Amino acid sequence: MSQDYVELSKDLLAKMADMRREIPETMKAFGAMNRAANSDGALSHKSKELIALGIGIASRCQGCLAFHAQALVELGCTRAEFMEMLQVAVYMGGGPAVMTAAEALAAFEAFGGEAAV
């Protein structure tokens, strides 16, 4: 894998800081939506992050792979949980999702997921 997901995450965070300065209302609203969508409810925050990463895989969003893989590592996602999410993403997305799922696994490992086997 050629993508450095830790570096990508840092680069995107820097650009998002620019956006918070230049379009503060939009970014404030997005932040509020993020907090509301990810708070524990009927589904745990970890379950919601697994869903978000599955959507990121289907959308082939590199930044999504970085941010949600990092969040899952921080939430204590096991490799088994991560692999089952990849299984569903591949089932729903077919061949292209296999490629992006492999990249998502690289991102998970880059952030130390399950101590990067």
* CATH code, domain with 50: 1.20.1290.10
Q: Flag whether pLDDT at 1 surpasses 60.
A: no
Q: How confident is the model at residue 22 (pLDDT cuts 50, 70, 90)?
A: very high
Domain count, the chain: 1
pLDDT at 99: 95
For the question of whether the overall pTM of this predicted structure is more than 0.85, the answer is yes
**Non-local CB neighbours of 44 within 8 Å, separated by 6+ positions:** none
Q: List C-alpha distances in Å: 4 to 9, 42, 77, 79, 95.
A: 9, 34, 20, 20, 23
Domain that holds residue 102: 5-37+45-116
pLDDT at 35: 96
pLDDT digits (tens, 9 = 90+) for 29-64: 999 999 999 999 999 999 999 999 999 999 999 999
Question: What is the C-alpha separation between 98 and 1, in angstroms, rounded?
Answer: 14
Contact between residue 117 and residue 109 where contact means Cβ atoms under 8 Å apart: yes
pLDDT digits (tens, 9 = 90+) for 79-117: 999 999 999 999 999 999 999 999 999 999 999 998 666
pLDDT at 114: 83
pLDDT at 3: 84
Question: What is the C-alpha separation between 102 and 31, in angstroms, rounded?
Answer: 29
